[in-house]
Structure 1
């Protein structure tokens, strides 16, 4: 079917937009309850929980009330649902509102009041910076701790003249001994394979196929191990038995000095102990709890806009011990760990199987404590105060990712945007892809509707005001296909100034997404598109065929596992803790409220504990079906396409409460495609739900074949649609419109350029263009380097289908001053009524004006960031905010812009910009 048949009338589109009103005081936690509204209702009027949100970085104390209000009002105008507040440094000069001061809390209170007024919800990062949980209130005794060992050799018969030196030179204010022990020095210098990984002294992702799990490795010789019976606890003055050399280990634990980062100066402190509940609770009380108290929030009663707490990805060091750990270990595992303490220094105790069995128990206790006392305590505190708990449960920590993440109210992943500057339009533009497929199973298994994602993160090369909605779309759609149901933009840097363009940045990183964008107001339809998608993706239940249990060992993080099934099937992964709770009904395995799976799978070669083996046997006896090793008992593919399209499209499947099956399908290619999809459905009506327009139409190209339904799906460049199977449908196949031959809409065009000016009035210039041309080809430097919105005007060409051709980057179409459509992706087409004047407002990106300003003298000083790799020119940080910016004056060098990060140089390539055309009009043919 021709794509043009799907266009919606301007009046109907405007009506849908008007119905999308914000729900004042909406609590995101409500999204966890089954929605009472039908799918049609939430598609037309999406709930507040379906709106995208954004991370909102308050940069190093540069915060103003005017800026906070302006930011929140701008978010509400384009349809965002909320913001996640961070305090961060990132090389930005310090401002006047220091973290954790009365002025800081007044700003937070102001933000909460304004958010409530606007119907937005706020989430607070749990500390300054983004990794992980710490601050100046954390004392050394309640901070993260690690095991340290000093090794000393002593000849037999010699006397120990003083204990070995304390095993850590800088204990950061806390140290306690665990034990000082001696044993005969092993004859061979044999250490446990990967022993630093196995003891969580470092965390490098591995898979279950590594030698750690294989049983064919070489055992140490008789003299290469430490015998438990030979280990002696020693004190000062101990005399070593004669006849052999002795190794003495002084083992202790100390504060490891890890600090939250990249925090502002006032917010930086020690990372809290993750293995003990009480310090974590006090950490919560010291920051989030303080804001709750100031807001008057009490347990069970939260009417404020503060509705969430966030823990970002774990990017700090591991923790390997805490007070009372030996006693906790004995209580949980039923034996004393003291004889195995040499294993924490890499020694084999008795033999390799015994040592690895201990280390598995050790890692399990550490991981359990991490999940229970860190994430679990924060979840309890959030539940107490009516907060959603967002958790990015991955990184280099001593935990089992799925177990750790199961404590989240809203599991959160992330994806990064990569450049789409490829000459081949057939190449999928899906970005740097990871982590969502690991976080989404947590929600699916537990029946949680929202899977959030830190979205469109980017390196400086892939962001810096060069991208926007269409460039991002395929990456965002792939996130939806991988289970994401809430986009949270990375990132919005708080803009403390009211007339500075483009202004504050989050250092060099992240996609620029602030009210100072050239296209901010024109971005509302893009946000509405995502909102409609998320409304349907949060509706009903996720559908998958197989539940994988990969391993019991927290050392196998599962982050980088290949897809075990292939294109046509969806699967989830479950942790040990939840596997032991599985139920079986009608041959399906599940947790109450979660997805039901027709197959389950156990790891092929990893050892299973007695508890897991017994549970697997119980599941089989109750009728659960185990996936065969050769996968021969898989059901037929839920979705299939011709082989050549499998790398070009993505999909996900929801089952709605009324029994309808909805498949979101998306193209990753920047060209039109028609793809035949084969679905595991039959005997149902097939509809297309278009999230870009809000239309619901009957699919035209449908047939049944071999017990499956084949549907032809036409895609725009990077297009997407919901293919919905229903028992009955009232939707109709759009009548084909017949158009006359296209006529070129020639010039002249009267074009008005309105350039924003930092701390000044906009500079406006009108020119006549005899023919359409790229702005960057102009001899006029004002037009060549223009960034902003220019308005093209000419006599109305007549009613019909208007095709703008190529647009860089977003266009708004008006007839006699009345907006007809905002076009943010190709094809840039819309149907226009008759009138006198046609005008098209075209917005490009900031990059060209920033490059243009580099042609002018400098008006402030920048310097490279003080970190490794800065020589690759990630840009330069401003040394200090110049007085002319803070005092509201124009640039002394005549520049139009100011930004806290210098991303461009004089010779950088300009981006094609403007209405490039050719513009054509087609009138309706009357037969």
Structure 2
């Protein structure tokens, strides 16, 4: 699918229809409408007219998109708002996201009252305390605009706890969608948003509803409170939070317990009032709820069970990413599809990403359990805007304004093949890593983030995740809620330096160990129960359970360095002998096993991989070409840089393809090449292969360069099982560190950046990733043959030849809603065939 950005609502029916048809032609199977900020003032000359969000004109365009999508057989989703997080002009200060803050005011000696600051809309006093320090502070009484307390001879401090609004505005909002972010902990605020935004959007779709409504990641910065949190806290936790409010702000002996209970209450409220309410609303209106269920406020891993379609994002496959968060929850709760917001920030800079970059990130997303891609994204662009058209401030571009668009369908075919295969059967992961939610919540603090997944990414020891991956073990995350609801359906449970765990969860872990499951603690076993109430008695129970669990034979305590050695004693790796940088996914089928294996590095690898579920004979499938080779366990496996393959073991496998022997005979194609760069340029002889930007006149050209040559072949040449057109090997790119978000393939490819191959006037296929070759035998004939290689570069070269877009006038009207990323000081990039092609004949 494509995330389809509508900038300022400046969309027109004719172009909407054209772009949907282009999506289909490019291999996309659906789209998600996401209205965002304007990119231009109204400009009749360019055909730009910004349509206010949810106006009749805007909703009419939603209807056009929905109707056209249905007619073309494409799935249509829509974001349940404009920009993110949800909110807008219908959310007043009383319904906006809330937080608590602490104000310190002087309480002079001899006084018994202090005047309080005037309240603004959406503010209220929660409590007040007076003392020489937070440790000895006692409750004060709030009486209107004054705080009352017993006077003392010493100067003290009045600690005032104030509920206020975060005042966060919707980010990247469209025209007319500006306003406060709503309070996701407030059922009334969520209901108001569904009525004001959700209902008109669904009405615009008509009777055939969108496949799903979508919620982006929760980025409600600072949100940690709601109007009725105090009574809800007491009802759920069994004590009044008010006397302990200062323990949230200051570290005391009680802080960890109080903070845990506060975090747990926040997580319950957002689950019930936001996730459950939106899911029920969607179901009642015959659609699904697709959600990126992570971020702030504190949603838990198991909260993903409350949505229909849990989605992740993030290519950090060797860390506890949001992608792994979503896929783990789906595995735990039996949801077969894990989608990902894919390629956000890819190669940092709009139009900079190449098809090889796409493959490199796609592979590491799939290694984390993804089997559906929502590409980020497709910018709507008015037809009269100068090429390459509009783009989002922080995203790759996948529309047909991109110069390498002619190979988009080939890239999408790769993603579709693997998405299909990785939905077959069941995911196999031997290890479950316990997400230390209890420890994370115990460290929450007002003024700092209250995000479980963010804290997990920062605190889960990297050595554990990387050790498992490099050791040949796949894993999921699990939390206490999932242990209680679903049990532990893994061979091994890993407790990563966990201090706190609920006794009722630990009891289930003990039962798992007694039933033969393996429990491994990295660092000391748990010793403390979370929360404040009955903490001592519950902690004694935790310590007793630690002794019981780790007194068993199939339990061990180790550190990061010894983890894999301990694991090996209990369970062999599912993929042995894999070099570092090679990852895998294992799916257990009804009558066999399937492994997706990817080389995530920029160097070739060769190794005799040991598959844990391998039978005597299997097959190796190429998801790029669709070819099938026989495979025997123990055979050396060769993977080019960023190459992937699928290994299948079982019965009734399809017939294998003609193989490409290692001893193939080379047939140089020296001389005779001609090149035309651009549609109207002259065709000139190629004197030496290299970047066409070496010619000053072509430095700022983005588009197609066509290389042609004629080849004479004998009938005996055609007896070879395969004949490969080989564009060369390329090599590792410059060793530069990525700064901030954004994935890319650090590789200098022999074709920059993608090629279509035509033989005797017929399209033979595309070359866009390693190994950079293509079987062209079916299109060759004895005698004279015409080879045509159409090479496409990126739009960066043309953009480098012009000044950056000036948004001064736009910002004067609409404010500063975005900053283009990595789009200044652009330089032309190498383009074309960098090395001389060759034909390679497999020996008959």
Q: TM-score range by the shorter chain?
A: 0.7 to 0.9
* 2:383 is the counterpart of 1:475: no
Q: CA shift at 1:687, angstroms?
A: 1.3
Tell me the equivalent position of 1:146: 99
CA displacement, residues 561-612 of structure 1 (integer Å, 9 cap, x when unaligned):
22345221122222332222133xxxxx2xxxxxx31122445442223433
**Shift in Å, 1:291:** 1.5
Q: What is the rounded CA distance, in whole Å, between the counterparts of 2:320 and 2:8 in structure 1?
A: 30
Pair 320,670 (structure 1): closer, same or farther in 2 beyond 3 Å: closer
Residue aligning to 1:629: 557
Give, in angstroms, the shift of residue 629 of structure 1.
2.1
Answer yes or no: is the 8 Å Cα contact 1:57–1:491 preserved in 2. Answer: yes
Does residue 698 in structure 1 map to residue 630 in structure 2? yes
Q: Distance in 2 between matches of 1:293 and 1:862?
A: 35
Equivalent in 366, 369, 381 of residue 495 of structure 1: 381
Render the CA deviation track for 1:691-740: whole Å, top value 9, x for unaligned: 1122333115x3xxxxxxx3422213321111122156454485665987
Equivalent runs, 1:406-417 vs 2, <5 Å: 406-415=305-314
Q: 1:864 to 1:440 in 2, by over 3 A?
A: farther
Q: Which structure is richer in relative contact order (CA contacts within 8 A, separation 6 or more)?
A: 1
Change in Cα spacing, 1:876 to 1:144, as seen in structure 2 (3 Å) is closer
Partner of 1:828: 773
User: Structure 2 matches for 1:165-564, cutoff 5 A?
Assistant: 165-166=117-118, 171=120, 173-179=121-127, 181-183=128-130, 185-186=131-132, 189=133, 224-226=135-137, 230-235=138-143, 236=146, 238=148, 240-242=150-152, 247-297=157-207, 303-304=208-209, 306-344=210-248, 346-347=249-250, 352-395=252-295, 397-415=296-314, 434-458=321-345, 462-497=348-383, 500-507=386-393, 509-551=394-436, 552=438, 553-554=440-441, 555=444, 557-560=455-458, 561=460, 562=462, 563-564=464-465
In 2, the alpha carbon distance for the partners of 1:626 and 1:659 equals 30
1:134 equivalent among 77, 87, 92: 87
1:713 aligned to 637, 640, 643, which one? Answer: 637
Describe the superposition over 1:46-80 as per-residue Cα deviations: whole angstroms up to 9, x where unpaired.
xxxxxxx1211111232222221222111111211
Counterpart CA distance in 2 for 1:432 and 1:559 is 7
Distance 2:7 2:178 in 1: 14
Q: Which stretch of structure 1 is more off in the superposition, 74-83 or 819-828?
A: 819-828
> Contact 1:66 / 1:498 at 8 angstroms: preserved in 2?
no
Tell me by how many angstroms 1:504 deviates: 0.7
1:750 CA drift (Å): 4.0
**2:377–2:396 Cα contact (<8 Å) kept:** yes
Between stretches 80-89 and 247-256, larger displacement belongs to: 247-256
For 2:727 and 2:256, locate their aligned partners in 1 and report how far apart those are by CA, in whole Å: 67
The within-5 A match list for 1:859-878 is 861=806
Is residue 801 of structure 1 aligned with residue 712 of structure 2?
A: no
CA contact (8 A) 2:431 2:490 kept: yes
SS at match of 2:100: strand
- Structure 1's unaligned 5+ residue stretches are 1-52, 191-223, 298-302, 418-429, 584-588, 590-595, 703-709, 756-763, 868-874, 878-900
Decide whether aligned partners of structure 1 residues 778 and 372 sit closer, same or farther in structure 2, where only a CA change above 3 A counts.
same
- Are residue 56 (structure 1) and residue 4 (structure 2) matched? yes
- Would you say the 8 A contact 2:327–2:370 is kept in 1? yes
**312-321 or 619-628: which moved more?**
619-628
- CA drift of 1:468 comes to 1.3
> Deviating runs (4+, > 6 A) in structure 1?
430-433, 864-867
* 2:830 equivalent to 1:903: no
1:513 deviates by 1.6
- Normalised TM-score (structure 2): 0.80
How far residue 922 of structure 1 moved from its aligned partner, in angstroms, is: 4.2
For structure 2, list consecutive stretches of 5 or more residues without a partner in the other structure: 43-48, 445-451, 521-555, 729-749, 813-817
Aligned-partner Cα distance in 2 for 1:237–1:851: 63
**Secondary structure at 1:99 match in 2:** coil
Instruction: Give the structure 2 partner of residue 119 of structure 1.
Output: 73
Q: How do 1:478-877 residues align onto structure 2 when only pairs under 5 Å count?
A: 478-497=364-383, 500-507=386-393, 509-551=394-436, 552=438, 553-554=440-441, 555=444, 557-560=455-458, 561=460, 562=462, 563-564=464-465, 565-566=467-468, 567=470, 568-583=472-487, 589=488, 596-602=489-495, 604-620=497-513, 624-627=517-520, 628-630=556-558, 632=566, 635-642=570-577, 645-646=579-580, 648-656=581-589, 658-700=590-632, 702=633, 710-727=634-651, 729=653, 731-732=655-656, 734=658, 741-755=665-679, 764-774=680-690, 776=692, 779=695, 781=697, 783-798=698-713, 800-805=723-728, 806-826=750-770, 827-832=772-777, 833-834=780-781, 836-853=785-802, 861=806
Counterpart Cα distance in 1 of 2:140 and 2:840: 92
CA distance in 1, matches of 2:241, 2:402: 59
Aligned residues: 737
What are the residue-to-residue correspondences of 1:55-134 with 2, within 5 Å?
55-89=3-37, 93=41, 95-129=49-83, 131-134=84-87
Deviates more, 1:329-338 or 1:796-805: 796-805
Provide, for residues 112-146 of structure 1, a one-character-per-residue CA deviation record: whole Å limited to 9, x for no partner.
111111111122222211x2111111122222122
Structure 1 residues 361, 739: closer, same or farther in 2, change over 3 A? closer
- In 1, the alpha carbon distance for the partners of 2:157 and 2:486 equals 48
Q: Confirm or deny: 8 A CA contact 2:751 2:832 kept in the other structure.
A: yes
User: What do residues 301-320 of structure 1 show as CA deviations (whole Å, max 9, x unaligned)?
Assistant: xx34x212222223332223
